[in-house]
Chains A and B, each alone.
Chain A
Amino acid sequence: MVKYIIKRIFIGIITAFIVATLTFFIMNLVPGGPFLSEKAVTPQAQQAMEAKYGLDKPLFQQYLTYMGGLLHGDMGVSLKKRGFTVTEIIKNKFPVSARLGGIAVLVAVLIGVPLGSVAAYRRGKTVDNIIIVFSTGGIAIPSFLTSTLMMYILSVKLKLLPSLGLDSPKSYIMPVIALSLYPACYIARLMRSSMLDVIGQDYMRTARAKGVSVFKSIFKHALRNAILPVVTYLGPLLASLMTGSFIIEKIFTIPGLGHEFVSAIPSRDYPLIMGTTIFLACFIIIMNVIVDIAYAFIDPRIKLK
């Protein structure tokens, strides 16, 4: 187990290194520079700026400098937000995105898992059909449509909820619904199909024959066996939602990490692009390791090696 985790972390570091290298060179292939867009910059001033941030050096030199800094946990300073280091920006923005994303994942699991289980148990009945129709419909609506339509109906027409920002608990409602609709429906579908497999197993019949109640047999015996595909899906989902959804943050003007990244690309804020990409990649890698470890706890038959 410990050996496995060490191996995974080692592979994870290599992956993060490759992602960082790829991003660095792809990013520098984009034409234009960080100081071109600013108004009335004399060539001398521009050169001075580039020299200050080391952008005048050969690309490979810059790469080595950056990677050297990264090893010491230094991700550089933002080129656009003067006086802020990338680490500070991530530290400030990540909690906002993480709270929103975490709530959304929680809601998605709490809705998706029971719905999928119920649908599987009542296979072919009206309840099952209703759940299938809704979950199939739900995965066909992009979140930007859910959020804009909700905004139109709930904020503009009915004036029930605030449309922008994250100032009050009420303002979490719409972004959370918009973020969790797709994963909730997806989890319900995953859960239904894996639950159908499990319900057909012999031990389920044995459990019922022993006199275990329907509720207990589904949620104690079957759930633990059927939830593995959902856990697999949860790892990347948590990573992508907690690091900020660009669309939702843009629509609801939420000051999160996703918003920061999308605005960093057009302005060529190289250190910020690198920082957010590496952060997200590491987050995904860590989540995947956690998912693998969680496997062994949920299903003791799985041996990690």
Chain B
Amino acid sequence: MNKNPLSLQLNVDDFVPATVEEKESLVVMRKSVSFWEDGFRRFRKNKIAMTALIIVIFIIILAFIVPVFYPYAYEQQMKGSERLKPMEYSKTELARMEAGESVFPHFLGTDQNGRDYTIRVLVGARVSLTVGIIASALILLIGSIYGAVSGYFGGKVDMVMMRIVDILYTVPDVLIIILLAQVLKYPLQDLSKLPGFGWITALGPNMVSMFLVFALLYWVGMARIVRGQIMVLKQNEYVTAAKALGATNGRIIKKHLITNCIGTLIVTTTLQIPSSIFTESFLSFLGLGVQAPMPSLGSLASAALNGLQTFPEKLFAPAFMIFIIILSFNLLGDGLRDAFDPKMKK
């Protein structure tokens, strides 16, 4: 139809209802991104953090799975194979090799009791990781509950609870750790003899007392952080709404508040792991850590000091292991913070 450009006559086709395809094409196609997807997307882009994650997984495999298949045990003493250099074989082993037997090499040599050093370093890493992870989990549990309760109720409750935290903050931590570790050792030894507590013997009373001591002292930092978050979060409308619907305080804390600061919780816990490992290695270095013959990276380094002149590699192996573990956990925690902490979003 030829149309006068100035005519006001409307085109009828413009007013035909849209077809299904047309409607679909107008719908915004982008899926909404959840908190987790958003965080993981940012985390994956961070090369340093991804490398750290891979190293952490690799070390966990080395420390927890490899010792199961390793031909030597960490407490196994081999007569005649004392103080071997890395990749060296003892006379008996050389004789066995000549007879056609295959002997698994001592990658890092053996110690003064003829124990394979590689497996001792691996088990030492396992001890350090176990202490770090379990202590951090306990700290997370105590700290988040304490901080949440204190922040949520506020007022006098908050005042009293935070004064307790302040006092614990001033306690000279290393002194109390050393004292408490000594105090807890004996009751735990007695407890481990009772039925149902056999796991204490499996882990060693010293290690269990170390978890407890770390958990008892280091939750204060976590509690402060969680309290700060909760005090902001509880102002939100959804908390008022939940209250209006009759939700109990416990439910609001559990369902609405803790779940909303999960990012902070993950980050703080990840950064707590290396600092627990740090403290554990210090204590073991002083001889207050796990019990012999169970090795820990700190006690291995301490034992290596005596033979520093002749066997420097005995120090380098556990030293390197501690360094790598703490470094990769720190980098992983930093990466998680960049990815999940709402304050770090650009």
Q: Which residues of A contact B (CB under 8 A)?
A: 11, 15, 18-19, 22-23, 26-27, 29-31, 136-137, 139-142, 144-145, 148-149, 151-152, 156, 240, 243, 246-247, 250-251, 261-262, 265, 273, 276-277, 280-281, 284-285, 288
CB within 8 Å of A: which of B316-340?
A: 319, 322-323, 326-327, 330-331
List 22 A-B pairs, Cβ < 8 Å: A15-B170, A19-B167, A19-B171, A26-B179, A26-B183, A136-B331, A140-B322, A140-B327, A141-B322, A142-B282, A144-B301, A145-B301, A148-B315, A156-B308, A156-B309, A247-B282, A250-B286, A265-B178, A273-B179, A277-B172, A285-B170, A288-B170
Size class of the B contact interface (CB-based, 8 Å): 35 or more
Query: Given A26-B183, A152-B312, A250-B286 in contact, is the A145-B322 Cβ separation under 8 Å?
Result: yes
Q: Report chain A residues within 8 Å CB of B170.
A: 15, 19, 281, 284-285, 288
Q: Map CB proximity to A onto B166-179 as digits: 1 under 8 Å, 0 otherwise.
A: 11001110111011
Contact across chains for B327 and A136 when beta carbons are under 8 A apart: yes
CB distance from B324 to the nearest CB of A (A): 8
CB of B274 within 8 A of chain A?
yes
Closest B residue to A251 using CB positions: B305
CB of B186 within 8 A of chain A?
yes
Interchain residue pairs A-B with the least CB separation, the first 9:
A140-B327, A140-B326, A280-B172, A29-B183, A145-B319, A30-B182, A144-B285, A15-B167, A277-B175
Instruction: Tell me whether chain A's interface is mostly helix, strand or loop, or mixed.
Output: helix
Contact across chains for A137 and B286 when beta carbons are under 8 A apart: no
CB distance from B325 to the nearest CB of A (A): 8
The complex places the Cα of A262 from the Cα of B285 at a distance, in Å, of: 12
Contact across chains for B285 and A247 when beta carbons are under 8 A apart: yes
Contact across chains for B171 and A281 when beta carbons are under 8 A apart: yes
Q: Map CB proximity to A onto B56-99 as digits: 1 under 8 Å, 0 otherwise.
A: 00000000000000000000000000000000000000000000
The complex places the Cα of A276 from the Cα of B172 at a distance, in Å, of: 10
Query: Given A148-B308, A149-B319, A152-B308 in contact, is the A246-B174 Cβ separation under 8 Å?
Result: yes
Q: Report chain A residues within 8 Å CB of B172.
A: 19, 240, 243, 277, 280-281, 284
The complex places the Cα of A280 from the Cα of B282 at a distance, in Å, of: 19
CB distance from A14 to the nearest CB of B (A): 8
The complex places the Cα of A11 from the Cα of B323 at a distance, in Å, of: 40
CB of B180 within 8 A of chain A?
yes
Query: Given A15-B166, A247-B285, A288-B170 in contact, is the A23-B315 Cβ separation under 8 Å?
Result: no
CB distance from B183 to the nearest CB of A (A): 5
CB of B281 within 8 A of chain A?
yes
Closest B residue to A28 using CB positions: B183
Closest B residue to A14 using CB positions: B167
CB distance from A33 to the nearest CB of B (A): 13
Query: Given A281-B170, A281-B172 in contact, is the A140-B274 Cβ separation under 8 Å?
Result: yes
Q: Report chain B residues within 8 Å CB of A15.
A: 166-167, 170
Contact across chains for B286 and A262 when beta carbons are under 8 A apart: yes
Q: Report chain B residues within 8 Å CB of A280.
A: 172, 175
Contact of B323 among A140, A243, A277, A288 (CB under 8 A): A140
Q: Report chain A residues within 8 Å CB of B298.
A: 142, 144
Contact across chains for A31 and B186 when beta carbons are under 8 A apart: yes
CB distance from A183 to the nearest CB of B (A): 13
The complex places the Cα of A137 from the Cα of B224 at a distance, in Å, of: 27
